[in-house]
Amino acid sequence: MTDQAAQSGYHEIVQAAYAPCVVRIGSEPSPMHDDYATLIGAGRVLVVEKVGIVQG
């Protein structure tokens, strides 16, 4: 999997995970604004994939 695919997949995961918080707290939590390209490149974020599809 390319870093680009991982970044795209992680963005979807983060959006799905934190979207309910936006309603409760009235703004986007800070993880929604993290630079996942940098975090993935540094090995600080792991993405699980199966047959090229991000799982979590």
Residue 17 tokens read as 């995970």
Give the count of beta carbons closer than 10 Å to the beta carbon of residue 11: 14
Domain assignments of the chain as residue spans, ordered by start: 3-54
pTM of the model: 0.61
Q: Is the pLDDT of residue 54 over 60?
A: yes
pLDDT band with cut points at 50, 70 and 90 for residue 2:
low
3-state SS, residue 35: coil
Residue 9 has pLDDT above 70, yes or no: yes
Q: Which residues contact 51 (CB under 8 A, 6 or more apart)?
A: none
- List, for residues 28-40, the tens digit of each pLDDT value: 999 899 988 788 7
For the chain, give the mean pLDDT. 81
Tokens of 34: 């993290």
User: Of the candidates 15, 22, 14, which has an alpha carbon nearest to the alpha carbon of residue 45?
Assistant: 14
